[in-house]
Amino acid sequence: MQKRLKKKLQQRDNFVVVAEVTAGLHFNFAPIERFLKGFARHGYQAIPKEFDFVSISVPQNPGGMANIEPVDVLGRIKLKKLLNGLDFIPHISCKDHNTDALVSMLNGFRSADVESLLVLTGDKPIRAKGVFELEAVGLLRVIKHINSHIYASTKADNLDKVYQYFPGAAVSPFKYTEASQMQQYFKMEKKIASGARFLITQLGYDWKKSQELFRYARENNIDVPIIGYVYMLADNVVLERMHAVDVTGCFVSDRLLAKVKSENLDGHIDRAAQQVAMYKDMGAAGVDIGGVHDFDTFAKILNKAAEIGPDWEKYKDNLYWPLEGGWYLYDDAGKRVALSKPRKKLKHRIFNIFHSMLFDKKHCGFHIFRAVMKFLGTKKGKGFFYRTFFCKEKLFKYLLFNCAECGDCYLPENFSICTIGDCEKGMDNAPCGDSTADGRCGNNLDIMCVGEKIYDCAAAEGNLDVLRRRINPSRNPALEHTASILNYLFEKDHTMAHPFISIGESIHASIPKTGKIMRELADLGPDAYETDSPQLEYIKALIYSQAADGADYIAVNIDAFGETDSTIIVDMMKQYVRFVRKFGDGIPVCIDSSNDDVLIAGLKEWYDTDETVKPPMVNSVKTYTMDNILPLKKHFDFVFIGLLISEDKPSGPGGSYSTDELYGLAKQIFDEAAGKYDFKPHEIFFDSTVFPLAIDMPMQPGVPGYTYRAFETIKKIKSDPKFKGVHCSLGVSNCARDLPGRKIGIMRAYVHTAMKYGCDAGIVNPRHKLYAGEPAPELMELVAAYAKMDGSMESTTNAMNLMSAFCRSAKKT
Ligand code: SF4
């Protein structure tokens, strides 16, 4: 029967064992074959019952040298039928592949039914140029995004069979400076936040450091399974290289070198067995054993470890080979030591001054600088002034920050340190695990690891908590070798604001599939929201996928469940607000309901946390309900959507609300919100209801269409100086309701047309990025016809004719 690491780690009912198998030099498959044939000969009887031999893991080009790709290893193993029920865990690293190639590789593993992966930044290639377009955190985020889309697009009845990648990541507790060690722990937490489902430690020979990792995990409620990596030191060449700091990230002290050299194979096996027993006793979920090339030795290590059992402490001296004077997070009594508080360096101070004067959007210097650059035409990204500026920027930033012209500058996020020029791998989220015991870069011993520098600057600013939580998205490769300052000034880099505010619409109980799964989740009982289930995974995926697709808010609407009892939807809203806070990657919730009790409960729940959260959105406030919601601004920061509907009878043509009436409603809401409750214009959104194009047909001559009135209302609001800074939003999906096809195309054309009238927000599926791309001209013509349907016979006939033609062609396709 096929074993699965994922299942074993989720069950946690046995101590898992993984064997790391590597090909020999020059693409030699024989060592892997030998190991697996040994296993086939002896079978599971050779493994003590305390251990569950689950899987082999296969490194990808270890040491930065070309070798057999894991996918190729898997092919050969399958061809020779060598797996014998074991799982297969490929290492997948970012050193040789760009993002597209990694995604293709992932797809290949999915086709081969591989689910567990060890995600690594990877060693710096020795002869080739390293890619590192992503690093481990970036790749984990890509996998999380793919996983969430697989879930979100699965049929409701198939949720328990859905394929998911099960990515793991590395962590090293074997660093001996405060900066390197704390950065490793921070990075571990970032990897978990980015989707790592298990961790494997770096190799190391210091039980106190191993213990430190488990203590840190407990202290910070980290319950992701940790697998201890046990590397049997036996090969003298490898040993000497590790000692000479020639194998990055590995530390072998002088004493350990001498000790290992004095031992025979039994001595090496003993130490490996003692480490296995140590990890088991410390609470690891399992071990990954490397440096062993034959199954007999592998089985011997496990048998000896079983004999040692919990008595590993007898061998502490044989497992303690630290750096003299090295730094530990806990003292011998297990108490956490105080972290250092270095002084800010001159370069750091200069950066902060320049940044606040010229690049802080709240500072007038920014606006003057931007206006001058715009006047000189540098926004176009070409021309004399652009090139002159870029030339000076290059020189200045190279001299001061070792800038490498990535064009998408993260100096502010990295506390004035460049992670391209100052890092041998150009990591988006530094550091990797390669630093030496004393904090130098393992790939260039002449420099300190960039992670050390960032840590020191963050500590000097008293901002370690920011460093701990901040995850930098991957840089935009299209900006390489362009002027990063101008990219920032003109919002072309990662700080770019979307031209259209996307409010993710997917968590809505009236969507049949989502509503069904929400209902099933609620029916699972009182612990449903805390217990793993396919339904819960689906909801998490729906939330995360919208965040990853660029939603600015994630809307939750539960109203469909409250037809009989509104207390149900109050409780459910609270729960879903918590979900968005937990799984939404920092994107604020949009609490969407026609019931004010639900809005108020959701708003209070959003702020019921010690975490710092962004202001949520409340949808919606009407002229006749605003006195219930707007006063809450005194207690909670939030933005809101003012819905332009009224309880009064419409007095426009044909018994409809005229543009003037809708504008009047906006004025009422604005005066109350800005005048009485101190809302800023940018915190106010107006929504003039979207009517489906398919039924937007005036029943009487002289009556304008709904689309016309919605768009004209937006234009009127946006062209009135009184409303400067407010947003206009639309529930976009409604426009395509009941159309026979091309719905996304219609929505894109609708958004592009609405943007021309001043609309800058919408309740949408963020994945579609409706504000971008070029809408089809015939669909633009169709929407424009509805936008102009002012009641005249000519405009109405034109819109109707275009709609008939559209329906005919859409039905054919
Ligand atoms: S500078 Fe640090 S993060 Fe960059 S490659 Fe060297 S060890 Fe890794």
Res 1: pLDDT: 82
Q: Which residue's CA is the nearest one to ligand 1's atom 6?
A: 441
Atom of ligand 1 nearest to the CA of 444: 6
Quick check: 643 and 696 in contact, CB under 8 A?
Answer: no
CA of 285 to the centre of ligand 1 (A): 29
Quick check: 18 and 289 in contact, CB under 8 A?
Answer: yes
The model's pLDDT over 159-204, given as tens digits with 9 standing for 90+, comes to 989 999 999 999 999 999 999 999 999 999 999 999 999 999 999 9
CA of 124 to the centre of ligand 1 (A): 9
The model's pLDDT over 56-72, given as tens digits with 9 standing for 90+, comes to 999 998 888 899 999 99
Tokens 């993710």: give the residue. Answer: 504
Rounded Cα distance between 553 and 763, Å, is 9
CA of 425 to the centre of ligand 1 (A): 6
Res 402: pLDDT: 95
Start-to-end C-alpha separation, the chain: 47
CA of 450 to the centre of ligand 1 (A): 6
Q: Which residue's CA is the nearest one to ligand 1's atom 8?
A: 432
pLDDT higher than threshold 70 for residue 502? yes
Arithmetic mean of pLDDT, 404-428: 96
Mutate to test the pocket of ligand 1, among 417, 428, 434, 448 (most ligand atoms within 8 A of CB): 434
Continuous H helices in 357-489: 364-375, 384-401, 450-460, 464-469, 484-489
Mutate to test the pocket of ligand 1, among 186, 420, 428, 441 (most ligand atoms within 8 A of CB): 441
The alpha carbon dihedral of 505, 506, 508, 512 has a sign of positive
Tokens 């919208």: give the residue. Answer: 546
Residue 287 vs residues 189, 244, 293: alpha-carbon distances, Å: 20, 26, 16
CA of 441 to the centre of ligand 1 (A): 5
The model's pLDDT over 559-607, given as tens digits with 9 standing for 90+, comes to 999 877 788 899 999 999 999 999 999 999 999 999 999 999 999 999 9
Arithmetic mean of pLDDT, 289-309: 97
Res 63: pLDDT: 81
Res 669: pLDDT: 97
Rounded Cα distance between 228 and 170, Å, is 10
CA of 98 to the centre of ligand 1 (A): 19
The model's pLDDT over 697-715, given as tens digits with 9 standing for 90+, comes to 887 888 899 999 999 999 9
Mutate to test the pocket of ligand 1, among 124, 410, 423, 446 (most ligand atoms within 8 A of CB): 423
CA of 438 to the centre of ligand 1 (A): 13
CA of 448 to the centre of ligand 1 (A): 8
CA of 180 to the centre of ligand 1 (A): 10
Which residues are bridge partners to 684 per DSSP? 640
pLDDT higher than threshold 90 for residue 421? yes
Mutate to test the pocket of ligand 1, among 137, 429, 435 (most ligand atoms within 8 A of CB): 435
Average pLDDT, the chain: 95
The model's pLDDT over 249-275, given as tens digits with 9 standing for 90+, comes to 999 999 999 999 999 999 999 999 999
pLDDT higher than threshold 80 for residue 39? yes
DSSP single-letter state for residue 336: B
Q: Which residue's CA is the nearest one to ligand 1's atom 2?
A: 449
Beta-carbon neighbour count of residue 83 at 10 Å?
A: 18
Res 629: pLDDT: 97
Residue 15 vs residues 57, 197, 711: alpha-carbon distances, Å: 16, 16, 63
CA of 63 to the centre of ligand 1 (A): 15
pLDDT higher than threshold 90 for residue 498? no
Which residues are bridge partners to 51 per DSSP? 15
Mutate to test the pocket of ligand 1, among 450, 452, 456, 472 (most ligand atoms within 8 A of CB): 450
The model's pLDDT over 320-332, given as tens digits with 9 standing for 90+, comes to 999 999 999 999 9
Give helix 706-718 / helix 743-757 axis angle, nearest 10°.
40
Atom of ligand 1 nearest to the CA of 124: 5
Rounded Cα distance between 655 and 653, Å, is 5
Q: Which residue's CA is the nearest one to ligand 1's atom 3?
A: 431
CA of 411 to the centre of ligand 1 (A): 16
Res 340: pLDDT: 96
φ/ψ of residue 371, rounded to 5: -65, -40
Length of the chain: 813
pLDDT higher than threshold 70 for residue 416? yes
The model's pLDDT over 641-674, given as tens digits with 9 standing for 90+, comes to 999 998 888 887 777 889 999 999 999 999 999 9
CA of 248 to the centre of ligand 1 (A): 10
Res 62: pLDDT: 87
Mutate to test the pocket of ligand 1, among 190, 417, 432, 448 (most ligand atoms within 8 A of CB): 432
The model's pLDDT over 336-361, given as tens digits with 9 standing for 90+, comes to 999 999 999 999 999 999 999 999 99
What six digits make up the tokens of 365?
A: 């210097």
pLDDT higher than threshold 70 for residue 813? no
Mutate to test the pocket of ligand 1, among 184, 436, 443 (most ligand atoms within 8 A of CB): 443
Res 672: pLDDT: 97
Atom of ligand 1 nearest to the CA of 443: 6
Ligand 1 binding site (Cβ under 6 Å of any ligand atom):
423-425, 427, 430-432, 434-435, 441-443, 449-451
Res 208: pLDDT: 98
Arithmetic mean of pLDDT, 495-515: 94
Quick check: 203 and 289 in contact, CB under 8 A?
Answer: no
Atom of ligand 1 nearest to the CA of 121: 8
Which one, of 96, 10, 23, lies nearest residue 56 by Cα?
Answer: 23
Atom of ligand 1 nearest to the CA of 424: 5
Q: Which residue's CA is the nearest one to ligand 1's atom 4?
A: 423
Res 812: pLDDT: 65
Res 657: pLDDT: 85
Beta-carbon neighbour count of residue 160 at 10 Å?
A: 10
CA of 628 to the centre of ligand 1 (A): 55
